[in-house]
Amino acid sequence: MNLKENISLKELNSFGIDVKASNYLYVQTIDTLKEVLAQDRFKDPFILSGGSNLLLMNDLDRLVIHMGLKGIEVLDETNDEVFVKAMAGEVWHEFVLWCIEHHYGGLENLSLIPGYVGSAPIQNIGAYGVEQGACFHSCEVLDRETNELVTLSKKDCEFEYRDSIFKSKYQNRYIITSVIYKLQKTNHKLHIDYGAIQSVLKEKNIQSPSIRDVSEAVIQIRSEKLPNPKELGNSGSFFKNPIIDKQKLVLLQESYPDIPHYTQENNQVKLAAGWLIEKAGFKGQRNGNVGSHHKQALVLVNHANATGQEVYEFAMEIIKKVQEQFGITLEPEVRIIK
């Protein structure tokens, strides 16, 4: 094992927070992962994936295992569907592009989302009307309690909006090693209801879009709207879009008749967190090294050597102001490691 000591994680988290790991190991095989977890001195390792949905608050005085498991393969297929297995260390966007290159549909709306494949089920990532859970079939995980591989079904993972068992009750038990997605080979079911996607397709005069057209439209939208983490540290959407009941919406509409909302199940609606943050006066605001992006208020950015504490305090300011103004408590989407 190539174990390293006192390693900076600044380049390994998209916020660019400069914290150190007392011990660091880049793991490329499941056998190595098992070997490490079997050692008593590494009983509470921190599993680092793409570092894209993460806010590190302090140095990590424990082993950081950086997932480097690679590989994509077709496990099974019919005339219409295909089952594709991707290892946890594959870059998500590159995996999506691989699927599109092979004409496998289902994940195209999730193009350009940063991070690794192994993180996708944890967060149940989603964008433009699609969540990864819609195509998810199963995943293989390493159970920390037994140090054995286990297969979990879609039902086992209990996917919800930006949530799963991996973020809640089994946060510290399972390590995702690979994911299997069931994708469409023919009769691709496109999700192009979002106005932004429709606008791009219309601009390009595309009337019968392919999955590649949808992917390229999403890439264009995200590139124009969201900052590149390599140029300006960020973790994408910092907050979840809040879900409220329709009664609460009616009350809000008395003061804010133009409030964006999207109908959900069980008499509920989803609001746009970015809109709430913008109306609270934070869009483009900067407080020292931290700020809200000038094009998308939902994205908090590291302007220059911000600490995790500075980002956290700025986020708490936003939560407080939105609560005071709208009576709605925003919840962080990113995983905050204190």
Token readout for 203 is 């601009």
Q: Which of 49, 162, 216, 292 is catalytic?
A: 162
Q: Is residue 333 flagged as an active site residue?
A: yes
SS3 at position 111: coil
Q: Which of 90, 131, 140, 333 is catalytic?
A: 333
Helix 195-203 to helix 211-225 angle, to the nearest 10 degrees? Answer: 110
Q: Is residue 237 flagged as an active site residue?
A: yes
Token readout for 183 is 């994708």
| d(C-alpha 51, C-alpha 36), whole Å | 21
Count Cβ atoms within 10 A of the Cβ of residue 15 and give its class: 0-12 exposed, 13-18 middle, 19 or more buried: buried
Q: Is residue 310 flagged as an active site residue?
A: no
Q: Which of 14, 52, 178, 237 is catalytic?
A: 237
Close Cβ partners of 98 (under 8 Å, ≥ 6 residues apart): 72
67: left (phi over 0), alpha (psi -120 to 50) or beta: beta
On whether the CB atoms of residues 281 and 318 are closer than 8 A, the answer is no
| d(C-alpha 154, C-alpha 323), whole Å | 34
Token readout for 41 is 């001195």
| Residues involved in catalysis | 162, 237, 333
